[in-house]
Chain A
Amino acid sequence: MTAHGKLLTAVFSLTMVGGGLAAYKSQKIGVPFLEGEQVDEWLVEAKVSFLAIGKKVKARLSLPSDAVQQGAGQEAGSLGYHYDVENDRDEYTAVWSAQERDEGQALYYRVRFKQGLVSGGEPKAALEQPAKPDVPKLPGSLGAAAQGIVSQAKKVSSDPDSLFVALFKQINDTSSSQEFVLVKRHYEKQAVTNPEIAMGIDLLGLAGVPARLAYGVFLNEENAGQAPLPLLEYYDGAFWKVRNPLEPSKLLDGRELFVWHRGGGPLLDVTGGENSRVSFTVAKDRIPLATLTDLSDSPFLISTILALPVSERAVFRYIVLIPLGAFVVVIMRNIIGIPTLGTFMPVLLALALLEIKPVQGIIMFSILVGAGLWFRFLLSRMNLLVVPRVAACVVIVTLLMMLMGVMSFQLGFSVGIKITLFPMIIIAWTLERMSLIWEEEGKRSAFSQVFGSIIVAVCAYYFMRVSQIQYWAYYFPELLLVLLAVILLIGRYTGYRFSELIRFKTFSNA
Chain B
Amino acid sequence: MHESAVIEPEEKAPVAESSEKKVQHKWWHRWFRTPGELRKLGVVGINMRNARFLLPNNPRRLYDLVDNKLRTKALAEEQGMKVAETYGVIRTPYDANKIEKILNGNEAFVIKPTRGSGGKGVMVIDKRVGKNFIKPSGAEVTLGDLKNYVSNILAGLFSLGGQRDFALIEYRVQAAKLFMALSFQGAPDIRVVMLHGYPVLAMLRVTTKESDGRSNLHQGAIGIGIDIATGMSVQAIHHGRPVSVHPDLGIGLIGVQMPDWETILHMAVTCQEMTGLGYLGVDIMIDETLGPLMIEVNARPGLAIQMANGIGLLRRLEPVVEQHRKNPTAHLTAKIAFSKKHFRAKLPPARD
Residues of A with Cβ closer than 8 Å to B? 3, 334, 337, 383, 385-387, 436, 440-442, 445, 492-497, 500-510
Contacts and interface: CB of A to CB of B under 8 A. Distances in A.
B71 interface: no
A510 B34 CA distance: 19
Interface stretch (B8-16, B45-53, B290-298): B45-53
Given A501-B34, A504-B33, A510 B48 contact: no
Nearest to B162: A386
Given A494-B48, A509-B22, 11 more contacts: A337-B46, A445-B218, A445-B219, A492-B51, A493-B47, A494-B52, A500-B46, A501-B38, A505-B240, A506-B237, A508-B235
Interface stretch (B79-87, B124-132, B152-160): B152-160
A509 B20 contact: yes
A510 B32 contact: no
A497 B156 contact: no
B344 to A, nearest CB: 11
A506 B225 CA distance: 15
Contacts, number: 100
B47 A502 contact: no
B89 to A, nearest CB: 19
B345 interface: yes
B266 to A, nearest CB: 25
Contacts of A497: 45-47
A386 B155 contact: yes
11 contacts: A334-B47, A386-B152, A492-B51, A493-B47, A494-B45, A495-B47, A495-B48, A505-B32, A506-B307, A510-B17, A510-B309
A55 to B, nearest CB: 55
B51 A494 contact: yes
A504 B241 contact: no
B301 interface: no
Which are the 6 A-B pairs with shortest beta-carbon distances? A510-B310, A386-B155, A496-B45, A494-B48, A501-B32, A383-B148
B154 to A, nearest CB: 9
Given A494-B51, A494-B52, A510-B225, A441 B219 contact: yes
Interface in B133-168: 145, 148, 151-152, 155-158, 162
B41 A509 contact: yes
B311 interface: yes
Interface stretch (B23-31, B255-263, B277-285): B23-31
With a 10 A CB-CB cut-off, give which of B32, B219, B242 has the most chain A CB atoms. Answer: B32
B52 A503 contact: no
B216 interface: yes
Contacts of A501: 32-35, 38
A507 B45 contact: no
Contact of A507 (B38, B120, B151, B346): B38
B315 to A, nearest CB: 10
Contacts of B311: 509-510
A141 B307 CA distance: 91
With a 10 A CB-CB cut-off, give which of B33, B48, B312 has the most chain A CB atoms. Answer: B33
Contacts of A441: 216, 218-219
Contacts of A507: 33, 38, 41, 43, 306-307, 310, 312
A342 to B, nearest CB: 10
B290 to A, nearest CB: 28
A432 to B, nearest CB: 9
Interface residues of B, number: 50
A280 to B, nearest CB: 44
B204 interface: no
A6 B298 CA distance: 30
A385 B225 CA distance: 40
A424 to B, nearest CB: 19
Contacts of B33: 501, 504-505, 507
A385 B20 contact: no
Contacts of B56: 3
Nearest to A383: B148
Given A509-B20, A510-B345, A504 B148 contact: no
B310 A385 contact: no
A500 B38 contact: yes
With a 10 A CB-CB cut-off, give which of A334, A445, A495, A510 has the most chain B CB atoms. Answer: A510
B234 interface: yes
A385 B307 contact: no
A492 to B, nearest CB: 6
B151 A385 contact: yes
Contact of B240 (A387, A440, A445, A503): A503
Nearest to A390: B162
A504 B157 contact: no
Contacts of A445: 218-219
Contacts of A510: 17, 225, 234-235, 309-311, 345-346
A508 B242 contact: yes
A496 B303 CA distance: 12
A504 B31 contact: no
A386 B154 CA distance: 9
Nearest to A501: B32
A82 to B, nearest CB: 57
Contacts of B32: 501-502, 505
Given A441-B216, A501-B35, A495 B45 contact: yes
A506 B242 CA distance: 8
Contacts of B29: 505
A304 B126 CA distance: 67
Given A383-B148, A385-B151, A386-B156, A508 B310 contact: yes
Contact of A494 (B47, B157, B312): B47
Given A496-B45, A500-B46, A385 B30 contact: no
Interface string B36-75: 0010010101111001100010000000000000000000
B33 to A, nearest CB: 5
A509 B241 CA distance: 12
